[in-house]
Amino acid sequence: MKPIVAVTQNSMALPSAAGIPLSRLGAFWQLSKPRVTLLVWLSALATVWLPRADVPVALLFAVALGVWLVVASANGWNQVIEWRYDARMKRTAHRPIPSGRLSVDEAAVVSTLWGVSGVLVLWLFANPLTATLGAFALLTYVLAYTPAKRFTAWCTVIGAVPGAIPPVMGWTAVTGRLDAEALFLFLMQFLWQFPHFWAIAWKYQREYREAGFRILPFDDREGILLGRLMLGFSAAVIGLSLLPSIAGWRSALYAAGALLLGAWSFRAPLAFARQPDPKTALRVILTSVGYLPLWFLWLILVP
């Protein structure tokens, strides 16, 4: 096990806000995994605009704040539970707990406050259904997905469930109901996650393996079978993205744009399937990160 790096204190006065050093505020910010939170958060905000264009500002703000806090809480508790394993991996050893910038107790308290506050905001200012979905996603991510990463290689399936709930929350915040459109949004984000996270898991498979995580669905260090799986899930995402046009929810123009976006995104897993290596895995990661917000934007703008 790699040694845990502790942060030493010095006598220099650090800049502060409300009496809290900015370095500690930065550690709490990193505890929320802002880059991961941002993408999920945007998916929830995007779907707020789908049922109606005239979304009240107060509701939009409530969804934005509530979803961010819930997702930040899930990410924070994930680090509280996994900090010893994070310390073993180069890509995660710099996180606030293993690096010594935050204690486990501090991170647990703040993550709990985030989660409780987020659910309350959604309950009071959106509706109970949206708050319940947020609580379910938070608990599933922390209590099911996080421990499953050490016991089953299919943990990605478990984790994809809470990962696909935020766009449903954006929809229910406005409509107050679960319907066919909400299921469609769930399935899109559910399927989208697999090529993305499998590419990450394959690219860093050695570190994950040494840390005791079982992320890949099978032992495929060459990436041949994984490439085929990525292609299958990517094709499923493209096919599903055409459903709004087929169902009459969106026009043929939407379908054409969705197909073009899908064709663009499909090139990355195709390249990985042909030549699995860290470069093509990174291409899958970056392309998938670009595809999702572009698709949501197209879905919003084109009738």
- Between the alpha carbon of residue 275 and those of residues 43, 244, 262, the distances in Å are 31, 34, 20
If one counts every other C-beta atom within 10 angstroms of the C-beta of residue 15, the result is 8
**Confidence bin at 8 (pLDDT 50/70/90):** very low
User: Is 268 a residue whose pLDDT tops 60?
Assistant: yes
Nearest to 70 by CA among 118, 110, 38: 118
- Between the alpha carbon of residue 111 and those of residues 62, 194, 259, the distances in Å are 19, 26, 40
Instruction: Check residue 5 and give its pLDDT.
Output: 39
**Confidence bin at 153 (pLDDT 50/70/90):** confident
Cα 6 → chain centroid:
28
Residues 6+ apart with CB under 8 A from 12: none
Assess contact for 164 and 193: CB atoms under 8 A: yes
Question: Counting Cβ atoms within 10 Å, is residue 283 exposed (0-12), middle (13-18) or buried (19+)?
Answer: middle
Residue 105: helix, strand or coil by DSSP? Answer: helix
User: Is 128 a residue whose pLDDT tops 80?
Assistant: yes
**Confidence bin at 20 (pLDDT 50/70/90):** low
Q: What is the 3-state secondary structure (H, E, C) of 120-148?
A: HHHHHHCCHHHHHHHHHHHHHHHHHHHHH
- For 185-197, what is each residue's pLDDT tens digit? 999 999 999 999 9
**How far is Cα 102 from Cα 84, in angstroms, rounded to an integer?**
13
**How far is Cα 172 from Cα 130, in angstroms, rounded to an integer?**
6
- Please indicate, yes or no, whether the overall pTM of this predicted structure exceeds 0.85: yes
- For 71-107, what is each residue's pLDDT tens digit? 999 999 999 999 999 898 888 899 999 999 999 999 9
